Amino acid sequence: MTVATPTLTKLPNYINGRWQQATTTEWLDVSNPATGELIAQVPISTDADVTAAVDAAAAAYPEWRRTPPEDRIQPLFKLKQLLEEHIDELGRIITQENGKTLSEAKGELRRAIENVEVACGIPMMMQGYNLEDVARSIDEMMIRQPLGVVAAITPFNFPAMIPFWFLPYAIACGNTFILKPSERVPLTMRRAFELLDQIGLPPGVVNLLNGGKAAVDALLDHPKVRALSFVGSTPVAKYVYARAGANGKRAQCQGGAKNHVIVLPDADMAMATQIIGDSAFGCAGQRCLAVSVAVTVGEAQTSFRDAITNAATSLRVGNGLDEGVQMGPVITAQSKSRVESLIAMGEKQGAKVLLDGRNSKIPNYEAGNFVNPTILDDLPVTSDLADTEIFGPVLSLVHADSLDEALTFLERSPYGNQASLFTSSGSAARRFRYEAPAGNIGINIGVAAPMAYFPFSGWKDSFFGVLHGQGRDAVEFYTEKKVVIERWAKDHSRKF
């Protein structure tokens, strides 16, 4: 089933509690990746628009900071309710602009809502600590205070979930917030901010600024922006981290990934096949936690290879709004041709193409950016492709003779977003947990996405910073510690 295209064309920004057009003359087209249909135009906001958003957030900050935490979370309870009520509508918008299936879209909305729920615990989570009598009659306490104006810059692949890794914690901690969503998927946040407009936040507490690199640079250079959260590709994450640091700002920057799963011969092969298949091909491989390389050990080589090839062959690819579709398109035509050229590169570098998803033709969706599930066997571990993020529905298979050899292969990877192991051995699982060089670990799990009350712990080139998104790390990131040491001499003149 398809839904009517939203009527809005030129998308506004939401600044100081009002929808307003950007001052720019530059607009980008936003297209439905399954149909190729134009669905909106997004402004490339200018320095003047960034200044307006920062000024609004800065003006709202003093009063919002003074608002008791208990009062600051009341709008978040309303937001949870509204997100629940609009989950189907928001899910359809996500599918229309991103391409993932409706059930995947609703799945990411559940994760967004979970972060709102966790941020409602700020009155507990934001507490500091104290100790009486650190010296005779001297007491010491640590209190947490918000930073001021903070901003987040988010990617195309989770139009709803990723902005909500940041927004609820930032404002519950007493900061005021600017979101710069991906210019490729601006419609989900347009609708989410219409909901945010209804929850009773004072003007300027949350602001939506559409745009691209120019807006990011202006946020990075604006003296009133205290902290930036970034999620996207590694080169941009590195750039944002360096420029934020040079400007004295706090930054947490999540980058790209190349995730490995090791399949031991004692794994439950049916379960492993289903879960790894979902991880590699779900969201058309455009998850930063998608398994991209499966390292089979010993006899798992043939059993897993045959099973996963069978499973991938039967996946139904199409428009994510159509009933029964299991995998949608990739985000743009450029992305499709990039993925196809990386498949060719793998083949040239020695891999065997077991299942070839290039030149996909989906009836009725000839203009869509489809790449079918692809499996490359025997990818040489020293090939360029072994270290390259593909971000499409391509699973490479590599063979190792032992867990040792498989772990050595993981060590080589520049990325460390996720590593998984499939086994029925507790001791192999413990060793893997102990030694695997990644920050999000799955044991018999294909997408090891931490729940909102745990940090999203990328390592190596998948993360630049110290404090991660979500949970307690988010509270640390969005607050500053202040330590107070107090001595009060006894006042003998007072009678009470």
Contact footprint for ligand NAD (CB under 6 A): 153-157, 180, 182-183, 212-213, 216, 231-233, 236, 239, 254-257, 288, 389, 391, 417, 456, 458, 462
172 vs 283, which CB is nearer to ligand NAD?
283
Of 168, 122, 120, 173, nearest to 148 by C-alpha is 173
- Given the complex with ligand NAD, which of 288 and 308 has the nearer CB atom? 288
CA neighbor of 42 nearest in space, from 239, 167, 180, 194: 180
The rounded distance, in Å, linking the Cα atoms of 340 and 391 is: 11
374-377 and 352-355 as β-strands: parallel, antiparallel, unpaired? antiparallel
> How far apart are alpha carbons 294 and 263 in whole angstroms?
7
Say which residue the tokens 């063979």 belong to.
Answer: 399
Closest contact distance (angstroms) between CB of 328 and ligand NAD is: 16
CB of residue 31 vs ligand NAD: minimum separation in angstroms? 15
Q: Which is nearer to ligand NAD, 156 or 169 (CB)?
A: 156
Q: Which amino acid is at 99?
A: G
User: Which of these is catalytic: 120, 173, 253, 288?
Assistant: 288
User: Which residues are bridge partners to 327 per DSSP?
Assistant: 317
What DSSP letter does each residue of 317-381 carry, written as one string?
BS-TTSTT--B---S-HHHHHHHHHHHHHHHHTT-EEEE--TT---TT-TTS-----EEEES--T
CB of 230 to ligand NAD, least distance (A): 7
- Contacts of 348-354 spanning 24+ positions with Cβ under 8 A: 349/379, 349/380, 349/383, 349/384, 349/385, 350/378, 350/379, 350/380, 350/383, 351/376, 351/377, 351/378, 351/379, 351/380, 351/383, 351/385, 351/396, 352/376, 352/377, 352/378, 353/377, 354/305, 354/309, 354/397
Q: Is 253 a catalytic residue?
A: no
Instruction: Provide the residue type at 153 as one letter.
Output: I
Nearer to ligand NAD, 205 or 253 (CB): 253
At closest approach, how far in Å is the CB of 212 from ligand NAD? 5
User: Which residue, 309 or 462, is less far from ligand NAD as judged by CB?
Assistant: 462
Closest separation in Å from C-beta 440 to ligand NAD: 9
| Residue closer to ligand NAD, measured from CB, 300 or 448 | 448
CA-nearest of 432, 411, 450 to 263 is 432
Integer distance in angstroms from the first to the last C-alpha of the chain?
Answer: 76
Residue of closest CB approach to ligand NAD = 232
Nearest distance, CB of residue 462 and ligand NAD, angstroms = 5
Tokens of 105: 């879209």
The residues annotated with a catalytic role in the active site are 288
